[in-house]
Amino acid sequence: MRSQIINLVLRGLVKRRLAACQTPADVRKVVGSLPTIAPLGVRFLSAAFGGITGEWAEAKKTSASLGTVLYLHGGGFAAMSPRAVRTITGGFALRGFRVFAPAYRLSPENRFPAALDDVTEAWRALRAEVEGPIFVAGESSGGGFAVALLLNLRDKKEQGPTAACLFSPWTDLAVTGASVENNRDRDPMESPGVLKMLAAAYAGEADLRSPLISPLYGDLVGLPPLAIFAGDTEILLDDARRLAERAQAAGVAVDLHVYPGMPHAWPLLSIVLPEGGKAMDEAASFMQAAAPRLLGDWLRMQRPLENDVTEALKKSVGA
């Protein structure tokens, strides 16, 4: 009942206004007028990594950290900020993670690849300064953006994150998924026309199907484990499903969670929507489980080396 009421409110107050947007500036006005709710028990601190400003989210009651999350906010590459996603960054902080959300450059003032360059530099600086596992996460365009970052790091032969969590990811800026039409009327927030306008503003003259713009079209071999979340009424549902299918075909470990009746990027509403909290719990558990799994793989790789060293010592003592 609560989700049905929230969907009705979103349909009446948000979708109608977004559908009327003609420019990225219009989208900024609509998104900027929406309230931001930060969870209690979290401190938010301004910071910069690699020359990219942003903010940390940390639990006020300190405890053993489960790792660090680089969180990429959504907004169609043209709107929102780290402050706008405090519900999620603060939610991860309360679940035992330290979270850095960069304020990457927005389009159309800064077209592709400006934002990707920003988050790549933030990642490099974070990787150099932070100990322990580092994860990447994002919602909407930030979710697809997170996969583009994974591809960029892999192609540059740089160390990538331990795992990634994607909420309602926008992975196909060509907007070709079947759910775009099938869920056009069911989706309580998003409209195809606005997505196409934002995609053009971000890509400029670049090919919309370039893997670093639309990671759905990329070679996904070698990516870390992915947890992907989507609502079954979203027009971007097939962006999540197709990404999961192609990642699994490429040998990537994937957990796909399709929630019934959830609006786009519903973890942003986790303070008032129980399903948002559940998705956050599942994402946190996924990341927590990914680190020991990779550690186990590393230890198995070391055993042959350890055996060789042991045998060499035995021969040395025997001699």
Tell me the catalytic residues.
140, 234, 264
b/e per residue 16-30 (b: at least 16 CB within 10 A)? ebbeebeebebbbeb
Q: Is 109 exposed, middle or buried (0-12, 13-18, 19+ CB in 10 A)?
A: exposed
CB count in 10 Å sphere of residue 182: 14
Cα 166 from Cα 2, distance rounded (Å): 24
Q: Is 319 exposed, middle or buried (0-12, 13-18, 19+ CB in 10 A)?
A: exposed
- What sign for the dihedral angle of Cα 155, 158, 162, 165? negative
Secondary structure of the chain: what % helix, strand, coil (to 5)?
50, 15, 35
The set of residues, in sequence order, having a beta carbon less than 8 Å from that of 135 and lying 6+ positions away, is 67, 68, 69, 70, 97, 161, 162, 163, 164, 165, 287, 290
Cα 124 from Cα 188, distance rounded (Å): 37
- Indicate the residue type of 122: A
Q: In the block, which residue shows the tokens 């360059």?
A: 117
- Indicate the residue type of 284: A
Q: Which run of H or E residues covers position 137?
A: strand 134-139
The set of residues, in sequence order, having a beta carbon less than 8 Å from that of 288 and lying 6+ positions away, is 66, 67, 96
